[in-house]
Structure 1
Amino acid sequence: MNTAPKRLVLVTGPSGAGRSTAINVLEDLGFETIDNLPLRLLPRLLQGSEWDHPLALGMDIRNRDFSTTALLDLIEELAGRSDIEVNILYLDAAPDVLLRRYSETRRTHPMAPAESPAIGIERELDLMAPIRDQADTLVETSDLNVHQLRDEIFRFFAPETGKILAVSLQSFSYKRGLPRGVDMVFDCRFLSNPYWVSQLRQKDGRDIAVATHVQADPLFKPFFDRVVDLARLLLPAYKAEGKSYLSIAFGCTGGQHRSVVIAESLAKALAEDGQQVSIRHRELKDRR
């Protein structure tokens, strides 16, 4: 008899953050999916016969009996069960991004049907904050299109990736603010800036000439070596804790040069260790 825990993913997050897309991707990955199941029916579902497939359930304010307390109590109850391996997948996005998405679709917000969507978004984010804090997997969708979100869900939940803790590296510009949903942030603005070299200004940190310039800074090697050592120290600890990902962001003034060089260099070092790594350069047009 198979005594392995049954896999359950609770998919949640604010309206407009991409929850429906995530559920569709999980269905493509072989999950049985149910959206907006009333919370009171979930215990009965989980007491049923053995599951043939992993299960993904959409949970948000549209559930008829949804409440923050009820969902938190449910999460606590599931965490104490040895027969279920539960993962809380939280899709998040910045308030201005959620507002733009609502404006583009001309939808009313479920928490402000007769008011501005901005009011509903503010109410919902406040309501969902305690659930966000309990998330096992947090996906920040503000800068993701549908295809990039699909890639993120595949990275975290595809069967072949489940054995390896995934690392997400990001470069960004401090002018646009800190990225959301990252575990660690490093400031690279102390390094020599290629922006002030006319031949390098229009290039980015993936260009070998830009990388060579940044790496020639005497502080680059000691800083980079310590970042690599820290990542290698934390990866086993995160994995032992049951985490599925580690997200590290590097910032510089414009997000074009120094932060990109560091992110690319760390990705190469960790990939050589056999680590699964993805990179996103927030300020560059052609992200990967």
Structure 2
Amino acid sequence: MQKVIVVTGLSGAGKSTVSKALEDLGYVVVDNVPVELLNSLLQLYEAKNQEQRVAVVVDSRSLRGQADVSNFVSDLQFLKSKLPLSVVFLEASTDTLLSRFNLTRHLHPLVHATGSRLALIEAIESEKELMSELRDISDFVLDTTNMKDKELVYHVENFVGKDRGPEFYLISFSYQRGLPTNADMVFDARVFRNPYYVEELRTLTGLDDGVAAYVRADDKYPFFLDLWLQLAERTYEEHVKLGKPYVVIAVGCTGGQHRSVLVVRDLAQNLTDSGHSVVTWHRELGSVS
């Protein structure tokens, strides 16, 4: 079989969007597969068509308790030794999931018939605890808290649409809006002087040359950028040894518009120049590249 993607994670985190993106990439997508049948299903596709790319969506509807999750984790680890299989786990903040369920009025799989607000919050938190073991063994954990559908599709295409996915995922963010939960490392760009207090720079971003020149002129900037590049490279080397082929690095500042954006921009350029494949996401600007 050419490639197998198991899509899992929290209800409301974007599995339907990912499923559609994988279909557009030529995958056969099978939704809500009973976990007991996964091995048999993949054997069937392998016997039928060696070149078929298959994506299987599994969520808490098929995992009734912690024992089911643990058994499924064992099954996935066995299948990984036999097939080119990767696990993609989607998550989002509790507030985001609550908002999405309230907007769509869909019933959470773990909510009982009452469907009360309290029950929904409890269901979301219970599902996070239930799925944590599965999250820990996933190849790609993606936090969709502030993502639009097109951004989520972009990340999926970069992960599964190439023979070798990106080695670095760089995220700029605002501390005021919370840390990205999937970050392996967090760098604090608030150590640099803030362009926000310069009137002609306030409405610009770290993608603009004026902001870049202002922040780079801080005498601390070259030292920290070089230090963070060394940490990024070394961490990537260790991740590869552990079987994880990418690193997620988040860079934060107060508003997520100036300093963090520039640091991500400069880290990406240096890592690209060193031969690495890089995806950047400026969370507060809503842009990916």
Per the normalisation by structure 2, the TM-score is 0.89
1:222 match? 223
RMSD between superposed Cα atoms in Å: 2.0
In the alignment, does 2:75 pair up with 1:74? no
Partner of 2:191, secondary structure, is coil
1:155 aligned to 155, 158, 165, which one?
158
Are positions 1:27 and 2:16 aligned together? no
Task: Give how far 1:183 is off.
Answer: 0.9
Shift of 1:234: 2.9
Aligned match of 2:98 = 99
The aligned runs of 1:158-177 (5 Å cut-off) are: 158=161, 161-177=162-178
State the 1:248 CA deviation: 0.6
Partner of 1:146: 149
Unaligned runs of 5+ in 1: none
- TM-fit CA distance, 1:286: 5.1
Contact 1:25 1:150 in 2 (8 A): yes
Q: Which residue of 2 aligns with 1:114?
A: 114
What is the identity, as a one-letter code, of the residue corresponding to 2:78?
Answer: G
Partner of 2:190, secondary structure, is: coil
Mapped to 2, the partners of 1:60 and 1:87 lie a distance apart of: 16
- Could you list the runs of 5+ residues in structure 2 that have no partner in the other structure? none
Letter in 2 for 1:61: S
> C-alpha offsets along residues 187-246 of structure 1, whole Å, 9 cap, x if unaligned?
111111112222212211111111111111111101101111222233343334332431
The CA distance in 2 between the partners of 1:106 and 1:70, in whole Å, is 28
- Larger fraction in helix: 2
Deviation of 1:285 (Å): 5.0
Question: Aligned partners of 2:14, 2:89: CA distance in 1, in Å?
Answer: 10
Cα displacement (A) at 1:15: 1.0
Match of 1:62 in 2: 61
Matching residue of 1:14: 10
Look up the match of 1:137.
140
Match of 2:129 among 122, 126, 129: 126
Q: Is the 8 Å Cα contact of residues 279 and 288 (structure 2) preserved in structure 1?
A: no
Query: Which amino acid in the other structure matches residue 192 of structure 2?
Result: L
Percent of aligned pairs with the same amino acid = 37
Aligned partner of residue 84 in structure 2, secondary structure: strand
> How many Å apart are 1:6 and its aligned residue?
5.6
Normalising to structure 1: TM-score of the pair?
Answer: 0.89
Alpha-carbon distance in 1 for matches of 2:156, 2:287: 20
